[in-house]
């Protein structure tokens, strides 16, 4: 007897899903809870585990095919199935985290592995850039696994080598990394995501190539759209088509903030075991300012403006599959230290596809850091249907005129631009400028001695 695997329901608002990639092929042995297929929806991308153990007999849905939730997608023959019996249906039960309270970072394991492919702008990392001498890698274009040298290396892994996790295997394929050249630092010499990323950052890994079909005249290369890229494109078009964008930018002197972080960073990281970037400081300033300007924490309701009573901050994260915007729920209730831990947890789980559906829903405002890529000014696209999105740009040391009673002076200061895109149906320039000024004053007030707890 074969068991028919169905496309699982992942939420009331999700009615269909697209087969992204089959992780098993007919004839493969499948263990219960082992990742079977990657499903892409307008909310999340997730690895769906098998609800039974057996042998994959037949694929009922092809990669790229869109199906309603509950539709049959595969048949698996189980070892204890009597011959001649009629097929039965099975679907893995996927639960989402409760919406009332956010999960504690680092304490909860999730069976469902998902990320949202939809967000405001492309290519930004979540960490705030250092003032000088730092850089961030742009997410590279992904070639099909079968076309990369890493695919062959992965399939030819020596028998003595520790088995790779799906997340590590995918990351290695996306960056064309030959895992036999990577030194594992995990338990028993296991290769971890950090090992792959460090190998890529060292420059030892070849740059992945974009795979496409040449045009008839050879003057162009046509790269097919992935389901994730198509959904990102649709979300961006919807946002700019439905929301009248307006933009505003302010320059912020973050010299005191830079000094504050430097004064507490070592002790904090040793005590908490979490890196301390500039991000939690900026989040704190943003969420406090949203409480002062509630129309920035809102959405358009056609015949009304809908003010959000909770501050759920979306954080743009660059992941191998595309932009991800996980949500930091009740961000206004956390200290700077708490925000550092929560943001790191979200970013790590976003990049390894371990978010819950709740982690990508309910955002009321979005924060992006285009400065991690060296940008000093930007005009981001609003994350529909929110009222605004703010970016933090790269921190640069510059000569600045400092007003003084005895006469103006020139000093070297750490400066950063903050850029806001806002829905002009909800807010005008006065509200937008007031919000940015509030963020600026809060950031400029941070200095050594400011409590982060």
- Chain segment 262-290, per-residue pLDDT in tens: 999 999 999 998 889 999 999 999 999 99
Q: Is 428 designated active site?
A: yes
Class of domain 2-90: mainly beta
Q: Is 408 designated active site?
A: no
CA angle 417, 418, 421 (to 5 degrees): 135
Q: Which residue has the higher pLDDT, 2 or 218?
A: 218
What's the CATH architecture for 229-444?
2-Layer Sandwich (3.30)
How many CB atoms lie under 10 A from the CB of residue 63?
A: 13
Give, as one character, the DSSP assignment of residue 326. -
Contact 328, 346 (CB under 8 A): yes
pLDDT band at residue 149 using 50, 70 and 90 as cut-offs: very low
Q: Please determine, for residue 88, whether its predicted confidence score (pLDDT) is greater than 50.
A: yes
Contact 139, 319 (CB under 8 A): yes
Rg (CA), the chain: 24
User: How buried is 246 (Cβ within 10 angstroms: 0-12 exposed, 13-18 middle, 19+ buried)?
Assistant: middle
How many CB atoms lie under 10 A from the CB of residue 97?
A: 18
When mean pLDDT is compared across 4-18, 207-221, 285-299, 404-418, the lowest value belongs to 4-18
Q: Catalytic pick from 9, 42, 348, 424? A: 424
Spatial separation of the C-alpha atoms in residues 159 and 142, rounded to whole Å: 28
Instruction: Please give the C-alpha separations between residue 319 and each of 9, 54, 164, 167, 365, in angstroms, as whole numbers.
Output: 24, 32, 19, 12, 20
How many CB atoms lie under 10 A from the CB of residue 323?
A: 26
Instruction: Please give the C-alpha separations between residue 88 and each of 22, 30, 67, 187, 440, in angstroms, as whole numbers.
Output: 21, 17, 19, 40, 60
Torsion of the alpha carbons at 53, 59, 64 and 68, rounded to the nearest 10? -80
SS (H, E, C) 184-251: CCCHHHCCCHHHHHHHHHCCCCCCCCCCCEECCCCCCEECCCCHHHHHHHHHHHHHHHHCCEEEEEEE
How many CB atoms lie under 10 A from the CB of residue 238?
A: 13
Torsion of the alpha carbons at 395, 398, 404 and 408, rounded to the nearest 10? -160
pLDDT band at residue 311 using 50, 70 and 90 as cut-offs: very high
User: How buried is 330 (Cβ within 10 angstroms: 0-12 exposed, 13-18 middle, 19+ buried)?
Assistant: middle
Q: According to the model, what pLDDT value does residue 104 have? A: 41
Enumerate the CATH 2.40.50.100 domain ranges in the chain, comma separated. Answer: 2-90
Instruction: Please give the C-alpha separations between residue 272 and each of 348, 372, 453, in angstroms, as whole numbers.
Output: 16, 24, 12
Contact 5, 77 (CB under 8 A): no
pLDDT band at residue 55 using 50, 70 and 90 as cut-offs: very high
Q: At 163, list the tokens.
A: 């088995």
Residues 101-120, mean pLDDT to the nearest whole number: 38
% of residues, the chain, pLDDT over 70:
74
Enumerate the CATH 4.10.320.10 domain ranges in the chain, comma separated. Answer: 142-222
User: How buried is 211 (Cβ within 10 angstroms: 0-12 exposed, 13-18 middle, 19+ buried)?
Assistant: middle
- Prior bond to 145 cis, omega within 30? no
Q: At 330, list the tokens.
A: 């009740």
Contact 275, 194 (CB under 8 A): no
Q: According to the model, what pLDDT value does residue 167 have? A: 65
Instruction: Please give the C-alpha separations between residue 271 and each of 266, 290, 337, 341, in angstroms, as whole numbers.
Output: 9, 30, 11, 12
Q: At 374, list the tokens.
A: 């060296």
Q: What CATH topology corresponds to 142-222?
A: Dihydrolipoamide Transferase (4.10.320)
Report DSSP letters for 60-84, one per residue.
SS-TT-EEETT-EEEEEE-TTPPTT
Enumerate the CATH 3.30.559.10 domain ranges in the chain, comma separated. Answer: 229-444
Q: At 447, list the tokens.
A: 């200095």
Residues 67-94, mean pLDDT to the nearest whole number: 70
Q: Which residue has the higher pLDDT, 317 or 254?
A: 254
pLDDT band at residue 441 using 50, 70 and 90 as cut-offs: very high
Residue 420 φ then ψ, to 5°? -120, 130
* Stated pTM of the model: 0.66
Spatial separation of the C-alpha atoms in residues 194 and 189, rounded to whole Å: 13
Q: Which residue has the higher pLDDT, 171 or 114?
A: 171
Give, as one character, the DSSP assignment of residue 333. G
User: How buried is 139 (Cβ within 10 angstroms: 0-12 exposed, 13-18 middle, 19+ buried)?
Assistant: middle
Contact 329, 363 (CB under 8 A): no
């Amino acid at each position: 007897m074969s068991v028919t695997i169905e496309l699982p329901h992942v939420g009331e608002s999700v009615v269909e899903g697209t087969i992204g990639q089959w992780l098993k092929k007919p004839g493969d042995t499948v263990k219960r809870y082992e990742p079977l297929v990657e499903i892409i929806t307008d909310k999340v991308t997730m690895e769906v585990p098998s609800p039974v153990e057996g042998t994959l007999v037949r694929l009922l849905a092809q990669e790229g095919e869109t199906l309603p939730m509950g539709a049959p997608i595969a048949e698996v023959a189980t070892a204890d199935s009597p011959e001649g019996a009629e097929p039965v249906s099975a679907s893995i039960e996927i639960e989402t985290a409760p919406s009332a309270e956010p999960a504690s970072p680092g304490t909860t394991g999730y069976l469902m592995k998902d990320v949202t492919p939809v967000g405001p702008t492309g290519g930004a990392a979540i960490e705030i850039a250092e003032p000088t001498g730092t850089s961030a890698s742009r997410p590279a274009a992904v070639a099909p696994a079968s076309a990369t040298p890493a695919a062959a290396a992965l399939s030819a892994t020596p028998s003595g080598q520790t088995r790779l996790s799906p997340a590590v295997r995918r990351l290695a394929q996306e960056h064309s990394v030959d895992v036999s050249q990577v030194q594992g630092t995990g338990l028993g010499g296991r290769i971890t995501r950090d090992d792959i990323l460090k190998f890529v950052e060292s420059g030892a890994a070849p740059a992945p190539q974009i795979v496409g079909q040449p045009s008839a005249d050879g003057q162009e290369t046509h790269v097919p759209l992935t389901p994730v890229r198509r959904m990102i494109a649709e979300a961006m078009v919807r946002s700019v088509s439905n929301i009248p964008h307006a933009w505003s930018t302010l320059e912020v002197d973050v010299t005191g903030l830079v000094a504050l972080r430097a004064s507490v960073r070592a002790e904090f990281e040793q005590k908490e075991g979490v890196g301390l970037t500039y991000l939690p400081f900026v989040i704190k300033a943003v969420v406090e300012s949203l409480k002062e300007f509630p129309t920035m924490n809102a959405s358009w309701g056609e015949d009304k403006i809908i003010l959000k009573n909770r501050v759920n901050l979306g954080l743009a994260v660059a992941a191998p599959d595309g932009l991800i915007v996980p949500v930091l729920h009740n961000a206004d209730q956390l200290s700077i230290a708490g925000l550092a831990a929560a943001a790191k947890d979200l970013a790590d789980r976003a990049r390894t596809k371990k978010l819950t559906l709740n982690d990508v829903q309910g955002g009321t405002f979005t924060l992006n850091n285009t400065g991690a890529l060296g940008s000093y000014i930007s005009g981001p696209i609003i994350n529909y249907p929110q009222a605004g999105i703010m970016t933090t740009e790269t921190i640069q040391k510059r000569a600045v005129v400092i007003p003084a009673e005895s006469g103006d002076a020139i000093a070297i200061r750490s400066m950063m631009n903050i850029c806001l895109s806002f829905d002009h149906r909800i807010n005008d320039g006065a509200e937008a400028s007031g919000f940015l000024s509030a963020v600026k004053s809060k950031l400029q007030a941070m200095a050594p001695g400011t409590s982060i707890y």
